[in-house]
Amino acid sequence: MKGKVIIITGASSGIGKATALKLSKKGAKVLLSARRKDELQALKKSIEKETGEALVVIADVTKKPDMDRLVAKTLEAYGTVDAIINNAGLMPLSFVKKLKTNEWEKMVDVNIKGVLNGVAAVLPTLIKNKSGHIINISSTAAYSYFPGGAVYCATKAAVKMFSEGL
């Protein structure tokens, strides 16, 4: 991991934050991305306090230009990208009959389109480098439905299948 440049989406909390802390302790240069600036700045300070290296770029994974800018800023700062961890995700749960279609659309945008936008933004660099990793965070929900999770499970199944196809 030492010296590797790794982009992490959804880095402001949960799995993304824990991953950033772990990778930075192993010597990776982590690019922290999410929409919540304050949380990302606090994480950056924690990483630097432990002598790690981090850069913050505020980005919304649902917006392709944001993801393109994220990769461009990474290349500008470090000259390369070794990996992206497409971690950003949402999990509002409700039964389909409640018709919370706004939540459905947001989950599809973040959980599926966010992964697609991350891959599209970084893939040309990885191909040019002839190396690198794309890690898409799915869930066990991709394999088995649970009550209230129909849309969430569907989005995670989509991430699983896209990753297999990739």
Domain boundary assignment for the chain = 5-165
* Residue numbers in the chain where pLDDT is lower than 70: none
pTM of the model: 0.94
Q: Which two tokens stand for residue 165?
A: 């196809």
Q: Which long-range contacts (CB under 8 A, 24 or more apart) does 90-98 make?
A: 90/152, 91/152, 92/152, 93/148, 93/149, 93/152, 94/148, 95/147, 95/148, 95/150, 96/150, 96/151
| Burial bucket for residue 79 (CB in 10 Å: 0-12, 13-18, 19+) | exposed
Q: Does residue 152 carry a catalytic annotation?
A: yes
Q: What is the pLDDT of residue 135?
A: 98
Residue 15 confidence (pLDDT):
95
Helices (H), 14-144: 14-25, 37-49, 64-78, 101-107, 114-129
What is the predicted pLDDT for the residue at 21?
A: 97
The reported pLDDT for the residue numbered 71 is: 98
Q: What is the pLDDT of residue 55?
A: 96
> How is domain 5-165 classified at the CATH fold level?
Rossmann fold (3.40.50)
Supply the pLDDT for residue 29.
98
